[in-house]
Amino acid sequence: MTIRYIKILVVLAAGLQAFLYALQNMANLEAARGAVAYVLSQADNAVYTDSVIPAVTSPGLVSFAMWSIIALELVGGIAVLAGAGRMALSIKGTRRAFNASKWLALSGLGLLVFTWLGLFLAIGGAGFQMWQTEVGGGSLEGAFIYAMTSGLVMLIVAQDEPCWADRTEKVDHRQEGWQEPDRSHR
């Protein structure tokens, strides 16, 4: 049963991380818009001055990119937090019930991995070469950390429950190895 509590706690932490970053971006809209505009403009890209992706300077496209990031963080964070709630509701259920309760958390975590790996690392890092500037490099490092933590939580949560998760009686099997519970009395 302890592993279930741990899974719920790490899901809560990952959901809270995304939700708070979305709120921080909304609380600092002009700074967020400025950072996105700076990266998309490819200003100050001194190492690789030519790019296969053209610079984006349109205020509409910059706003679209910024709001897409915020929306994905917000939706992903809410999905993960709601998934933690679903998992908590089935914490005393069977392995099958608990595994079934993970789908919303796993979906949200997948969305967050896509946001930080796909948008920041692939498009921002490889496409717009954001690693070349201090602002872009900081965002890229953060996105790597968030993508890896969300991915790690996703891998932990996706693991099937151990074989003893459905046990209701306490059995000390340290000396004799794993023993199936006696179900003949049912």
Write down the pLDDT at residue 100.
93
Cα–Cα distance measured from residue 15 to residue 105, given in angstroms and rounded to the nearest whole number: 8
Write down the pLDDT at residue 115.
97
Q: What is the mean pLDDT of each run of 10 residues along the chain (186 residues)?
A: 90 98 97 94 86 92 97 98 96 90 97 96 91 89 96 95 65 57 60
Write down the pLDDT at residue 49.
82
Residue 14 phi, psi (nearest 5):
-65, -40
Write down the pLDDT at residue 120.
93
Write down the pLDDT at residue 170.
55
Question: Which residue has tokens 């049963």?
Answer: 1
Question: Which residue has tokens 């896509």?
Answer: 114
Write down the pLDDT at residue 161.
81
